[in-house]
Structure 1
């Protein structure tokens, strides 16, 4: 029996429609339009594509989207000045630094300078600390989207063994914190984990975020497990994830496709986070 597909695309459309309706009501109530500013450093084709997708999503939701494009050779001092200007701009409610940025720039330092109440990515130290301590406010979009998928399909987290492969600040670590908050029993694995295959196969919920195309096949998956594939890569002109889908779907109980699984949820949750920032800055200060 084949695994049931976890359709992130359809769920993301529901969320985006809800965001659009909320935006209309907020504009009518406050006379102020939510505004997201994205800083794009350099001309990385993948980054440009991602930013274009975010612009389109904002426009359809009624959110103003401003892309601040800067040269790849910009100094860190100049980039921090741009962040400060956006921090102080009362018309801007959310700020996003499109990653990666050129290696001569310290991404962590730049992110630290973003106001925590405008941090739509949930990457600033204050928002990371709030999440880690069990009081999330602005949460990284991809892990948040994964939790939304699990809840949409009524997949239990409490008491389940959740294995997260990947320990990045963007997905792995915040994912573990969110699963813990839902009372999952969480194991974080990474490239240096001994016998990764055996560890993965103990998971009731397996989240794969290693950035290695088709790394996980059916031999890593317990029969009936839920498999969440965060990876997205282009191999021989085909979009694939970190999970070898063809073999995995024959073993798993539930699985996210690539594309159409986690990816659309990331942008949908970005829109929600933009509204969270807006409400914090506009609604709560009326």
Structure 2
């Protein structure tokens, strides 16, 4: 048995096309600003991909780059400026941030309505309650991938390896909302391989290449590999490795995402979707405010 290789690029293209069609009739293009702090090579690559797709869609997309030694106060001041900017619908702070900057404080400073990465505590709380809000892009992309294989997750056992605020926790919340039974494994979990062998859906978001072996996987399970670790090649350059031993896993699983070409494209596509949602919501609020003002002063 060989697993179906899930084509994240093809699924992402469908999401992007949906965004393109939804943009018809908007008063203005959505505005996205990516805040890039420092010189991390991987961050620069990711930002280029995000901004390129946004501009291809017709978004007003820009990168605000700040030096690696910038103060936290300067970053917070820039976020405050973007919060006030009427042309900015979405703010994305590219992670990781330099060590002198408190990531949680920066995330908390972003206007929740412009938080297109879905990492503000308010959006996290809305997600935990199953309420309307902006959902973190990577978990949202993972859920779309999973539902492309099994649309109804009711009663299925899902295991998430990793408990980060960026992927693990919101992924578990989304799977719970989809009526799956969810187990979260982390660094302190006992006998993680045993837990994983019971998973109908297995999502790994740890950043440890080759962690998940073929004998961790339940036959015919859906395996989603979020891991993207850059490994230097002896002859120069680098390769990207996932958390899952792909060659072993594909002999057991029913469907599996590759690295690269799996979760990554869906993350960027969901960022475009979130930015469009944020823009439409802001336009609706502005229209409602104008209508209310006309009632008062008309």
Normalised by the length of structure 2, the TM-score is: 0.92
* 1:96-175 matches, cutoff 5 A: 96-175=92-171
> Which residue of the other structure, out of 8, 32, 36, is the alignment partner of 1:36?
32
* Contact 1:205 1:226 (8 Å CA) reproduced: yes
**Higher alpha-carbon deviation: 135-144 or 146-155:** 146-155
Residue in 2 that maps onto 1:266: 267
Contact 1:144 1:269 in 2 (8 A): yes
Measure how far apart 1:5 and its partner are: 1.4
Cα deviation, residue 138, structure 1: 0.2
User: Unpaired runs of 5+ in structure 2?
Assistant: 288-298
Q: Among 30, 49, 55, which residue is 1:53 paired with?
A: 49
Q: State the alpha-carbon separation in 1 of the partners of residues 242 and 127 from structure 2.
A: 27
Alpha-carbon distance in structure 1 between the residues aligned to 2:205 and 2:36: 24
- 1:99-119 C-alpha deviation (Å, 9 max, x unpaired): 001111101101101000000
Name which of 212, 225, 231 aligns with 2:227. 231
Query: Which residue number in structure 1 is paired with residue 276 of structure 2?
Result: 275
Give the C-alpha shift of residue 134 in structure 1: 1.2
RMSD (Å), alpha carbons: 1.1
Structure 1: stretches of 5+ with no match in the other structure: none
- Based on CA coordinates, which of the two structures has the bigger radius of gyration? 2
Would the alpha carbon gap of residues 112 and 12 (structure 1) be closer, same or farther in structure 2, given more than 3 Å must change? same
For 1:153 and 1:26, how far apart are their aligned partners in 2?
33
* Alpha-carbon separation, structure 1, partners of 2:239 and 2:63: 29
Structure 1: how far apart are the matches of 2:25 and 2:30?
8
Shift of 1:155: 4.7
Deviation at 1:234, TM superposition (A): 2.9
Q: What is the CA distance between 1:215 and its match in structure 2?
A: 0.7
Cα drift, residue 153 of structure 1: 2.4
Question: Counterparts of 1:12 and 1:42 in 2: how far apart (Å)?
Answer: 28
Q: Deviations over 1:8-66 (max 9, x none)?
A: 1101011112212222x134xx1x22110111111111111111011111011111111
Query: 2:16 matched to 1:16?
Result: yes
Shift of 1:78: 1.3
Instruction: Please say if 1:208 is aligned against 2:207.
Output: no
Query: Structure 1 length normalisation: TM-score?
Result: 0.96
Question: Number of aligned pairs?
Answer: 282
- Residue of structure 1 in register with 2:2 after alignment: 2
Q: Is the 8 A contact 1:229 1:256 kept in 2?
A: yes
Aligned position for 2:243: 242
Per-residue CA distance 1:129-175 (angstroms, 9 max, x = gap)? 00011114100001101111122223531101100000001100000
